[in-house]
Amino acid sequence: MATVSVVGGGVIGLSVAWRAACAGWTVTVHDPAPGSGASWVAGGMLAPLSEGWPGEDRVLDLGAASLQRWPDFGARLQRTVDTELFTSGPSLTVALDTADAADLRTIADWVSGHGHEMRILSRAEVRALEPELGPRIRLGLLAPTELSVDNRALVDALRRAAAETGVRFVDAPVRDVADLTADRVVLAAGSASAKLWPELPVRPVKGEILRLRTRPGATPSPQRTVRGSVHGRPVYLVPRDGGLVVGATQYEAVDTQVTVAGVRDLIADAEALFPAIGEYELHEASAGLRPMTPDNLPLIGRVSERVIAATGHGRNGVLLTPITVDAVLAELGDESLPEAKYADPRRFTEEGVR
């Protein structure tokens, strides 16, 4: 039976391992602490449309193709481990000033022009949907097809599904892919991928998030993911059972320490969208390292006859999981997935063959 080693146990690596095992491969996941990296420190938003911007056609197309796959992917995983993953939908982006309102109209026109449903909402329509949002909101943009998932429930579900499908876990770090004896290797090590394959242009970018819990008598949280920009800083509120996830900062840094400035800005910006947030318990502040690439597209595809890259997903690892799995499974079958052609890691170099 053909064998594959998956280096990295985040949502990408675990999903690839689970589905490859389902397809008949003998799979081993190599990770000292599966699910403890960027996948654990995430908002779980599936929002390629709301984050779209004119000129980023390839990013939009890849994200939209993965969003379209998410209902089936999530349903299959939920059936496998009997758990609930989806937490909210659709998503709502709000504008606090004239410039932000103009940006929302630009996004709506551009994304709608690509065939995706987007709805501009007046101030009154926003308040009808989410009455507890702040009074400064001028305009809203609703993306009816966008969803969010509980990233930590997702990690746990994938670990269980992989184990139940026969995936073996090795808790030792991989120092060199040449040490692995499997027929194929899938490199899904996130921001550490470049250490194992230096030709991959992946760099770590730090992001901080807060997890809040509802207290007795507190104002109910929004029912939808709410996004906005405050003083030029993006901020989002993602509903969770019993609370909210607030994110996220972004720094060119390689540590995972939470800063006072990061917490301060997140709370202040979130309060501009949802004034009652001060009533909530600050349960957790955490930071992770997102694997970013120069063009904001992931690296999915062969880098040698034996090694397949599945990394560089940046802020969209959860969103891009289904299409990444499909692309990697295609590569394992010596084929390619047309929808993932722009994520080919060879777009940066043709010298990555060992």
| Percentage of the residues of the chain whose pLDDT score is greater than 90 | 95
Report which of 14, 25, 45, 320 is spatially closest to residue 156, judged by C-alpha positions: 14
pLDDT at 73 over 50: yes
pLDDT at 23 over 50: yes
For residue 350, name the pLDDT band (cuts at 50, 70, 90).
Answer: low
pTM for the model stands at 0.95
Q: Which CA distances in Å does 15 have to 112, 122, 189, 286? A: 31, 40, 13, 24
Q: What is the mean pLDDT of the chain?
A: 95
Domain extents in the chain: 3-42+151-201+294-347, 91-144+204-292
Which CATH entry fits the domain spanning 91-144+204-292: 1.10.150.530, 3.90.1010.10, 3.30.9.10, 3.40.50.300? Answer: 3.30.9.10
Over residues 120-152, the pLDDT tens digits come to: 999 999 999 999 999 999 999 999 999 999 999
- Which residue spans within the chain are E strands per DSSP? 3-7, 26-30, 45-46, 86-88, 91-95, 119-122, 139-143, 147-149, 168-170, 184-187, 203-213, 225-230, 233-240, 243-247, 281-292, 299-302, 307-311
- Record: fold of 3-42+151-201+294-347: FAD/NAD(P)-binding domain (3.50.50)
